[in-house]
Amino acid sequence: MRIVFAGTQSVGKTTLIEDLQAACPEYRIEEEPIRAVARRTGQPPPSIPTRAAERALVAHGRSRLLATAPGDRVLFDRSPLDAHAHSILSMEIGGEIDPAFLAEIEPRVIEALGHADLVVFVPIEPDVGDQPDGFRYLDASNRRRVHSILEDLLLPDRGITRAPVVRVRGDRATRVRQVRRAMTAHAATPTGAEGETRVGSSKPA
């Protein structure tokens, strides 16, 4: 199963992925695109997303998803979906990104997520602070805005992904249980099938 994790900055995505791999060692982790691109280019990402930077993130994430096949066991730390969300934020706060750029990248984001079997949305939790991650720092307001943008992009009527979407909550162990339960529930369910768990509809256990 190819599982994509999405969420705004500092909500525990990487921690959840590492905890999940510890429980499911047959899965491998696909590095966060922003880190992979920075390592490859030797350049840190800009403080405000640019067209060039977001295009590179979408291209990298898309290539990694398209390189997989059904049955592969991969945990994706972010994807082109997150680059899309940050692009929207950049446009809203006066960056160089405009509606034409969003229209350019959205089909690529949709194509990439067409290779995901499950999307895990990690929301903001009250006890998870807003900490710098060494790359792109968001203040509290923009951190919340990216969270809201991702929620919107993952709504069924947006058509960004046909994969089931599960929203996790709670402590680390609870989040792992929720993802593993979703993995079991959707293991034999084709992408886009009825009965999906969408953003906002999952119930923590």
Question: What CATH number is associated with residue 129?
Answer: 3.40.50.300
What SS3 class is residue 169?
coil
Q: Which domain holds residue 169?
A: 2-186
Hey, what are 114's tokens? 């067409």
Mean pLDDT of the region 177-203: 66
Task: Classify residue 48: in a domain, yes or no.
Answer: yes
pLDDT level of residue 188 (50, 70, 90 thresholds): low
Q: Which residue has the higher pLDDT, 125 or 106?
A: 106
- Segment 91-105, tens digit of pLDDT: 999 999 999 999 999
- Segment 50-84, tens digit of pLDDT: 999 999 999 999 999 999 999 999 999 999 999 99
Task: Classify residue 191: in a domain, yes or no.
Answer: no
Determine the straight-line distance between the first and last CA of the chain, rounded to whole angstroms. Answer: 22
Task: Classify residue 199: in a domain, yes or no.
Answer: no
Closest alpha carbon to 58 in 91, 76, 33, 35: 33
Domain count, the chain: 1
What span, in angstroms and rounded, lies between the C-alpha atoms of 86 and 46? 12
* Distances 17 to 11, 48, 94 between C-alpha atoms, Å: 12, 27, 33
Task: Classify residue 193: in a domain, yes or no.
Answer: no
